[in-house]
Amino acid sequence: MNAPLKKFADVAVLPQPYLLFLGDIAEPSYAKTAFGLADWAPERCVGEFSIGENGITVGLPQMSPVDAVAAGARSLVIGVANPGGILPESWIGALVEAIEAGLDIVSGLHVRLSGISPLAKAAKRTGRRLVDVRTPPTNIPVGTGRKRSGKRLLTVGTDCAQGKKYTALALHRAFVSLGIDADFRASGQTGIMIAGRGIPMDAVISDFESGAAEILSPDAPADHWDLIEGQGSLFNPSYAAVSLGLLHGSQPDVFVVCHDPTRHAILGVEGFTLPSVEEVIDMTIRLGSLTNPAIRCAGVSLNTSSMEADEASDLISLEERRLGLPVADPIRGGEAFSALVMNCFV
């Protein structure tokens, strides 16, 4: 069952397949759009395109725009979500090259492609499209706090870029495999490109954040679950506002804390240490109980991608005993993840 959702963007109408643009970034956390599409929609991606010498890779064939067009690509997706959502001057030449090769440009950045003169001129000259995914629907109401029917799970984090989207997608897949009526609700540009619908919460005016979250997850049958992609962190000095609005508006019955055990400081800002998982659980319950007094933590999702299998397994077991909650890496799956899934229904 797909509960009605105000529609503003649809992957089905985006020009596909994609060439993923990684720019010249060296920090993998900033390439979460490219990684998300490569991991969850690989059939829509023909390759990747980087500039500079110290870039990263998502494991796809490296292609020039001309080669990508020859391989069937129809658009270049900017696969980077950098701080502030800006488009560096150093990227513009490569994007113009892609336009002139015959590719539309799809962006999830805050900056509007049509406002960048060289891109606008190249698109007009060639007849190519400039598509901004990070555009919220019009006429979003303010939040009401009204309790809605149906069940909701929200992924929250100790920081940004720690697996909230991947966890929500993995949980959605697991729920559906159990025969549970469920939807994945995307709240960021990458999730929207994967799911085909959603609301870019960080592009919504603050007064309307909770209202947008209410639209994102509307009334549903009593046995229906919405798996809502979280954003930011309540402890991040840059992005806590969007996290709080999403928490209040989504009214989660349960939440899952996402954490990277190898990270010790808030990403992108100096002087802020990462909060503990316990602090996040406590703060989420205290703030989330405003709109759902019955909110509870179902468990913890650990991002153990940088660990060997045995090391990850030992850490998961240790954290389970320490926290008294199911702990798992959804990408690794296994019995630990199954226990986390089942604890959502307790």
Exposure b/e, 246-270, CB count within 10 A at least 16 = b: bbbbbbbbbbbbbbbbebeebbbee
Q: What is the pLDDT of residue 6?
A: 46
User: pLDDT digit string (tens) for 89-100?
Assistant: 999 999 999 999
User: pLDDT digit string (tens) for 174-199?
Assistant: 999 999 999 999 998 888 888 878 89
Please state the rounded mean pLDDT for residues 285-311: 97
Is it true that 11-132 and 151-343 share their CATH fold? Answer: yes
The domain limits of the chain are: 11-132, 151-343
Q: What is the pLDDT of residue 5?
A: 47
Per-residue pLDDT band for 13 (boundaries 50, 70, 90) equals low
Exposure b/e, 101-111, CB count within 10 A at least 16 = b: bbbbbbbbbbe
Q: What is the pLDDT of residue 110?
A: 82
Per-residue pLDDT band for 2 (boundaries 50, 70, 90) equals very low
Per-residue pLDDT band for 84 (boundaries 50, 70, 90) equals low
Q: Which CATH superfamily, name and number, covers 151-343?
A: P-loop containing nucleotide triphosphate hydrolases (3.40.50.300)
Please check whether residue 330 is in contact with residue 337, taking contact to mean a CB–CB distance below 8 angstroms.
yes
Per-residue pLDDT band for 138 (boundaries 50, 70, 90) equals confident
User: pLDDT digit string (tens) for 225-282?
Assistant: 999 999 999 999 999 999 999 999 999 999 999 999 999 999 888 899 999 999 999 9
Report the distance separating Cα 302 and Cα 53, nearest Å: 31
Q: What is the pLDDT of residue 1?
A: 39
Would the pLDDT of 8 be above 60? no
Please state the rounded mean pLDDT for residues 200-212: 94
| Ordered DSSP codes for 44-104 | GEEEEEE-SSS----SSPB--HHHHHHTT--EEEE----GGG---HHHHHHHHHHHHHT-E
Residue predicted with more confidence, 333 or 54: 333
Single pTM value for the model: 0.82
Percent of the chain with pLDDT over 70: 95
For the structural domain made of 11-132, what CATH number should be given? 3.40.50.720
Report the distance separating Cα 52 and Cα 176, nearest Å: 42
First to last CA, the chain: 22
Q: What is the pLDDT of residue 331?
A: 94
Average pLDDT, the chain: 92
Residue predicted with more confidence, 171 or 10: 171
